Structure 1
Amino acid sequence: MCTLKVRATIFILISMFVIQAFSSSMNIHLYKRSFKSACDVKYDSSLYARCDRVCEDCLEIYKDVDIHAGCKSNCFNNSFFVKCAETVLPESDANSLIQKAKDHSKVN
């Protein structure tokens, strides 16, 4: 009888953990799908896609929607984007993309 209670408790705890993990994953997915930005209209599609990919990769690493929103804010011209680019790209690629985002935000 005691082993049955222990097994039931373990099962409940594991179930709660799985549900929590699944729920967090779904929240991030729904958040990513609902994010709209004026930058996708201003930027040429290639540059926007590259910058957006940096923010998406950063979200996958840190699992924090605030970092994701910060990364995309001000059309990628911000410190979050710089840190994300430096995290997910080789140094020369990061520097180049950061400069392109800065230059583009000055023009538009």
Structure 2
Amino acid sequence: MPADGSHRIAALAAVTMCSRNIKISVVLFLVLIPIFAALPHNHNLSKRSNFFDLECKGIFNKTMFFRLDRICEDCYQLFRETSIHRLCKANCFVHETFGDCLKVLLIDDEEISQLQHYLKVINGSPYPQECFGSPFFNACIEALQLHEEMDKYNEWRDTLGRK
């Protein structure tokens, strides 16, 4: 009989221990969730996906993209109008609303010039001749004797220039 009683005690101890573990797990879960939610998050992935969502066809440069994005954020904060925020970013910051935001935010000419460079980088240069039509590029075509490839090259250049 004592052996049978010890099994009951052991079973009761196991149930008590199991329920204590569950209670501890629930408490830890409830305590840790708000802590993790309060930690700062690195939104690089979401910002990068935003880069592609805006149909940007150039190079993702975090600093440049965040600066352009900040212009739209500041404009939104000024007017609190979601359509302004959306239109400012439309077509990868090329919509006229972006220019309007620059004016309203009183961005100086020097910074506007820098922002125009940023736009070229993240949108891909709208002027492919800056790269492919340069004298250096043409000299490379000559040196590599790729004259017969020029028609194909011109077709590619036209396609790239159209976006």
TM-score (norm 1): 0.55
Question: Residue type of the partner of 2:67?
Answer: R
Match of 1:81 in 2: 98
Equivalent residue number for residue 114 of structure 2: 96
Matched-pair contact (CA < 8 Å) for 1:76–1:101: no
Structure 2 unmatched runs, 5+: 1-49, 126-162
Spell out the pairing of 1:27-106 with structure 2 (5 A cutoff). Answer: 36-38=50-52, 39=54, 42-92=59-109, 93-97=111-115, 99-104=116-121, 105-106=123-124
Q: How many residues align?
A: 74
Q: Which runs of 5+ in 1 are unaligned?
A: 1-35
- 1:11-46 CA-partner distances (Å, limit 9, x unpaired): xxxxxxxxxxxxxxxxxxxxxxxxx44158943000
d(CA) in 1 for partners of 2:71, 2:119 = 15
Once residues 37 and 46 of structure 1 are traced to their aligned partners in structure 2, the CA distance between those partners, rounded to angstroms, is 12
Greater CA radius of gyration, 1 or 2? 2
In 2: Cα distance, 1:81 partner to 1:53 partner: 11
Q: Aligned partner of 1:59: which letter? A: Y
Any runs of at least 4 consecutive aligned residues in structure 1 with deviations exceeding 4 A, and if so which?
Answer: 39-42
C-alpha distance in 2 between matches for 1:102 and 1:47 = 8
Alpha-carbon distance between aligned partners in 2 of 1:83 and 1:102, rounded to the nearest angstrom? 15
Q: 1:55 to 1:68 in 2, by over 3 A?
A: same
